[in-house]
Amino acid sequence: MKKYFITTPVYYVNDKPHIGHAYTSVAADVLARFHKLQGDDVFFLMGTDEHGLKIQKKAEEAGKDPQKFVDEISAGFKELWEKLDIKYDAFIRTTDEKHKTAVQKVLQTLFDKGAIYKGEYAGLYCVGCEQFKSESDLVNGRCPDHDTDCEIVKEESYLLKMETLQEELIEKIENDEFKIRPEKYKKEILSFLTKEKLKDVSISRKNVKWGIPLPFDAEHTTYVWFDAFLSYLTGLDWNGEFLRLNLKNKDLALKMDFWPADVQLIGKDILRVHATIWPIMLLHLGIELPKLLFTHGHLLSGGRKMSKTIGNVIGVDEMLEKFGVDGTRYLLMSAGTFGEDVDVTMERLMEKYNADLANGLGNLLSRVLRLAQNFQFQSPPKADQPRAEISNDSIFKNIENFEFEKSLEKIWNMVREDDKFVEENKPWELVKVNEDKFKEVMKKLISDLYLISELLVPFMPDTAGKIKKALETKEPVALFPRIK
């Protein structure tokens, strides 16, 4: 069985989950479900990123103990994934004991081999990004992603050697041993890596209390990104002990066989760190790099990044209430090209919902079922039905290549064609003049709907099941109520 290990980023628990988080997660769920259907041995990892200054400050503001604060928000993320019908295989929290002990082991190992050393770090720090910034990253002296001033930090710090492994990293990216896709992001990272020598990265903070203490210097806590990256391994129960992973070693926890990840899905805002710090940590540890880092664009609203200050944020709960679970999943996955920024507004989402789901698929299904019922049409067993004229292969290829919107577009072309087919053939008249032709028309429609329901399983699991059941029982079902 081919294994397929897919991860989403571990999300920050400084605030409630939003539509951007849902976007990455639904896409990962679609891929996981698709690969399970293909018979692959799938492991789908999600989790929450719970340390660092940003979260420490938020907990202080809320007047809460940080652990209690993160417990609540992390639980809120899990709840949302359940609502969205996202079926992960494991959920790692960076405050889990097993994670913390593994991180400390890794730190000690890298310190002992000299990959981590004591020095000083001076720079501008954006708390929103939890990252040091160079002057060239800033716009008018402010972080463009968060529109905030950066803090000047100058302190004793432990650093991770970066430049020593830069050439090796470049080579692995160039020859696709460590694939970065879409291609434009591979180019972007290579041009960055070949232009500048990587500065050693500060992996500890002296004045941040909410973090994992360094095992060799209790005055410091671990830099939140260093901690968070390792969750991709501790999520597989890795205990941090093996320097070189020997996959034939029977003592290794079974789940570790899933490493290297087949796909790590990330948004473009966190590409740079995922394509530099993370692989260099792995190279220092002698652990294989993930096979593929796939980067998606951002959801914008009305041409601008969604932000609470601008007031253009679309809430996931609002979407779930209006469009239901599968409606929301569909609208997110069909919103636009996955690797590019995608603009969504509530108005357009509502239009699309009505056009594609209420008047489209939902209406087609009820029409066909009504015809079957009114004229007592018995469809033959599924095996005897004509093959629908659509290439599964091309749709499967689209999903494998993260072209969700294309695969859905192909399925909806079929819905629209079938609608036209009903209009043109007028089965309610045909039944009176040519029963054979009527049967033929109905057979085609029903077999197309069966196929559509199969193809929709990864995207809209509940709807797919409902369609199949309705076709079997010929009981009409209201899939998507029209909204105003």
Active site residues: 18, 21, 126, 129, 143, 146, 305, 308
Instruction: Look up residue 477 and give its amino acid.
Output: V
Residue 255: CB minimum distance to ligand MSP, A: 18
As a whole number of Å, the end-to-end CA separation of the chain is 47
Looking at beta carbons only, is 165 or 332 nearer to ligand MSP? 332
Site string for ligand MSP, 218-247 (x = CB under 6 A): ----------xx------------------
For residue 279, what are its two tokens?
């692989």
What pairs with residue 152 in β-bridges? 124
Site string for ligand MSP, 303-322 (x = CB under 6 A): ---x----------------
Using DSSP's 3-state secondary structure scheme, residue 220 falls into: strand
Position among 211, 267, 362, 461 found at the interface with ligand MSP (CB under 6 A): 267
Verify binding: residue 87, ligand MSP, rule CB under 6 A: no
Verify binding: residue 47, ligand MSP, rule CB under 6 A: no
Is residue 348 within 8 A of residue 322, CB to CB? The reply is: no
**Sequence-separated (6 or more) residues with CB below 8 Å from residue 112:** none
Site string for ligand MSP, 138-167 (x = CB under 6 A): ------------------------------
Rounded to whole angstroms, what are the CA distances from 318 to 253, 315, 325, 345? 41, 5, 11, 12
Instruction: Show the 3-state SS of 61-119.
Output: HCCCCHHHHHHHHHHHHHHHHHHCCCCCCEEEECCCHHHHHHHHHHHHHHHHCCCEEEE
Position among 269, 288, 340, 405 found at the interface with ligand MSP (CB under 6 A): 269
Residue 58: CB minimum distance to ligand MSP, A: 13
Position among 20, 279, 360, 362 found at the interface with ligand MSP (CB under 6 A): 20
Instruction: Look up residue 78 and give its amino acid.
Output: K
Looking at beta carbons only, is 228 or 319 nearer to ligand MSP? 228
Please state, in angstroms and rounded to a whole number, the distance separating the CA atoms of residues 412 and 361: 8
Is residue 457 within 8 A of residue 329, CB to CB? The reply is: no
Verify binding: residue 11, ligand MSP, rule CB under 6 A: yes
Looking at beta carbons only, is 285 or 464 nearer to ligand MSP? 285
Closest-approach residue to ligand MSP (CB)? 267
- Options 19-27, 56-64, 236-244, 418-426: segment touching ligand MSP (CB under 6 A): 19-27
Verify binding: residue 10, ligand MSP, rule CB under 6 A: yes
Looking at beta carbons only, is 11 or 69 nearer to ligand MSP? 11
Which is nearest to 90 in space by CA: 247, 268, 213, 261?
A: 261
Verify binding: residue 81, ligand MSP, rule CB under 6 A: no
Which is nearest to 184 in space by CA: 341, 406, 9?
A: 341
- Options 139-147, 263-271, 343-351, 367-375: segment touching ligand MSP (CB under 6 A): 263-271
Please state, in angstroms and rounded to a whole number, the distance separating the CA atoms of residues 396 and 4: 16
- Chain residues that interact with ligand MSP, rule: CB under 6 A: 9-12, 20-21, 23-24, 49, 228-229, 266-267, 269-270, 298-299, 306
